[in-house]
Amino acid sequence: MTTATNRIALVTGANKGLGYETGRQLAQQSILVLLGCRSAAKGRAAEKELRKEGLAAEFIQLDVTKSDQVVKAAALIRKRFGKLDILVNNAGASFGENLFQNSTASVTGKALRKTFDVNFFGLVELTQKLLPLIEKSEAGRIVNVSSILASLAIHSKEGSLSYKPFAYDASKTAVNAFTIHLAAALSGTNIKVNSAHPGWVRTDMGGPKAPLTPSEGAKTAVRLATLGPDGPTGKFFHGEEELPW
């Protein structure tokens, strides 16, 4: 584990579910967590709940699909802290398709674009804007929350995953490609970049039948966000299990 003192983390989509639990578990390691949320009311409520537990957490206005908010968030972090140690790109969404059906022949172009705007384009823009601050960290960590549904190796096997919501899966496959490319670009630095599959989690997206709680699902991202200097980079994990791209 890296030294906890004075570490700053930003978690996107942090007002509920996986994002909230990821922020909570990071804050429990004496890390100041910035809760990136679209809704100010929900973000401040999440901040209040974590502070009741004695945890260091602060709401920050951030819709990853809005460039002006991305720029403002980066400027705020630069002014207040001068660096960023951990970025967890957790914000994600699915539009216009049933996550438990194959939507390849029916998903609309509009749904594809909206899904990619949140899950991929917003994630890339935010990471690029924050990268100069992460480069100032002694041990920068970037975690891209992906999904096993992104794995082309698994999907292409006969009798593999039956869930094939095309827009969502394709956006997460693109996220994995970004992970690989960014890790290569940062090779030889003290920054590690990895993708996390949280598992099937009981969230608004995962539904009530999912076997994992948000607390359990957050563990993979938290582990990757706090890797030591000998930890992996450019990999895809669920827990400590490396997954195929």
Whether residue 168 lies in the annotated active site: yes
Instruction: Please tell me the total number of residues recorded for the chain in this structure.
Output: 245
- Residue 112 tokens read as 């594809």
CB atoms within 10 A of CB 51: 13
Q: Identify the H or E element spanning 238.
A: strand 236-238
Give me the catalytic one of 168, 178, 236, 237: 168
Q: At residue 240, what is the residue type? A: E
- Residue 159 tokens read as 């009798």
Q: What is the CA radius of gyration of the chain?
A: 17
Q: At residue 223, what is the residue type? A: R
- Residue 13 tokens read as 């989509």
Please enumerate in sequence order all residues whose Cβ is within 8 A of that of 79, keeping only pairs 6 or more positions apart, or say none.
none
Query: Would you call 76 helix, strand, or coil by DSSP?
Result: helix
- Between helices 40-52 and 17-27, what is the axis angle to 10°? 40
Report the phi/psi class of residue 90: left, alpha or beta, with left for phi > 0 and alpha for psi in -120 to 50: alpha
Q: Is the dihedral of CA 56, 218, 60, 190 positive or negative?
A: positive
Cβ atoms of 72 and 64 closer than 8 Å: no
Active site residue ranges:
168
